[in-house]
Amino acid sequence: MLKLLKLLKDGRFHSGQDLGAALGVSRAAVWKQLQLLEAELNLPIHKVRGRGYQLATPLSLLEESAIAELFQGEQWPVLIFESIDSTNAQALRSISEGQAAPFLVLAERQAAGRGRRGRQWVSPFAENLYYSLVLRIEGGMRQLEGLSLVVGLAVMRTLQAFGVAGAGLKWPNDVLVNNQKIAGILLELVGDPADVCHVVLGIGINVNMQVNEQIDQLWTSVRRETGVAVDRNKLVAALSQNLQQDLQRHRQSGFAAFQAEWEQSHLWQGAAVSLIAGVNRIDGIVLGIDRQGALRLEVDGVEKSFSGGELSLRLRDDS
């Protein structure tokens, strides 16, 4: 099916005869593949007698060669999948199989995409970015301090460079535009964090998606914000370049080097919020973050710090 998609991705009409000749199959076989594309990948295809077949929307498919050509930094090995459970899950499998870090896992579609706290990450085919970067971490816990927040800054700057001027951060791992989610980050660790381990930096970005009824929260995408379809290969290259620079700075200087910039980009700075931890709820005012990336709240007139992967931050109704 991928060969057929590459022929159709320009969004123009192609006759069944021409498609069959290019693929070396009959017109009937082309018709069956087109039906599979619609059914399995949910890709609407226009069928017009005398003109042929046309994707309802042109596609930008991920290509390792295109990413390598656009990327100016140190090249990372890139593994691209048409469809997998999730890029983070594949990254963890690749680590266990001996793949040397750093390396990057990308997918056109995720069947079981995951967000924080076990939430589903809706992952339609070839519309968004499903990106997992694997790093080998040596030197103990200091190398992990504030790492997810550093990744958030890199994602935010990348989106701003692609025209999403209103992109900002929400502690700990979300990028929002007008309180609508455009990107999320999920870090997963394997190994001994006190010695040598691997960390998977999972990033999901809504890129060209315009309609999706499966998502149960406010969301937006780069295309919704800019009105322009994005070449996802360019986005991968730009994001990878920003990450490479910021991760090097983080290794050298720690999270303290990013603290002020992160606070300036925090959309909920000074807001009245509720911090949810399981069944517990803590109300406070956001003061900022500390040098390790923990959230600083004023709670009943006292400053307290909070960190942890299972915490959720929400705006209070009176904010």
For residue 243, report the phi and psi dihedrals to the nearest 5 degrees. Answer: -65, -45
Peptide bond into 102 cis (omega under 30): yes
Angle at Cα 95 formed by Cα 130 and Cα 188, nearest 5°? Answer: 55
User: Model's pTM, two decimal places?
Assistant: 0.89
Binding positions:
86-88, 110, 114-116, 181
Angle at Cα 56 formed by Cα 53 and Cα 58, nearest 5°? Answer: 95
pLDDT on residue 319: 46
Helix or strand holding residue 297 (H, E): strand 295-299
User: Which pLDDT tens digits describe the chain residue by residue (319 residues)?
Assistant: 678 888 888 888 898 889 889 888 888 888 888 888 787 777 788 888 888 888 887 778 999 999 999 988 788 999 999 889 999 999 999 999 999 999 999 999 988 776 655 566 677 888 899 999 999 998 777 788 999 999 999 999 999 999 999 999 999 999 999 999 999 999 999 988 888 899 999 999 999 988 776 777 789 999 999 999 999 999 999 999 999 999 999 999 999 999 999 999 999 999 999 999 888 899 999 999 999 999 999 999 999 999 876 788 999 875 4
Residue intervals of the chain classified under CATH 1.10.10.10 are 2-55
Q: Which CATH architecture has domain 64-263?
A: 2-Layer Sandwich (3.30)
**What type of residue sits at position 232?**
R
Binding positions for biotin:
86-88, 110, 114-116, 181
DSSP string for 245-296? HHHHHHHHH-GGGTHHHHHHHBTTTT-EEEEEETTEEEEEEEEEE-TTSPEE
Cite the active site residues. 116, 181, 314
Angle between helical axes of 147-161 and 232-253 (0-180°, round to 10): 140
Give start and end residues of each alpha helix (H) in the chain: 2-8, 16-23, 27-41, 64-70, 87-96, 147-161, 222-226, 232-253, 259-265
CB 61 within 8 Å of CB 126: yes
Q: In this structure, which topology does domain 2-55 adopt according to CATH?
A: Arc Repressor Mutant, subunit A (1.10.10)
Residue intervals of the chain classified under CATH 2.30.30.100 are 268-315
In the 8-state DSSP scheme, what is residue 145? T
Spacing of C-alpha 70 from chain mean position: 19
- Tell whether domain 268-315 is in CATH 2.30.30.100: yes
Question: Which residues, 6+ apart, have CB-to-CB distance to 255 below 8 Å?
Answer: 145, 146, 147, 149, 150, 291, 292, 293
Residue intervals of the chain classified under CATH 3.30.930.10 are 64-263
Handedness of CA 26, 27, 28, 32 (dihedral sign): positive
**What type of residue sits at position 87?**
T
Long-range contacts at 148-151 (CB < 8 A, ≥ 24 apart): 148/172, 148/173, 148/185, 148/187, 148/201, 148/293, 149/173, 149/255, 149/258, 149/262, 149/289, 149/293, 150/246, 150/247, 150/250, 150/255, 150/258, 151/185, 151/187, 151/201, 151/203, 151/243, 151/246
In the 8-state DSSP scheme, what is residue 110? B
> What do you get for the CA distance between the two ends of the chain, in Å?
50
d(CA 97, CA 81): 17
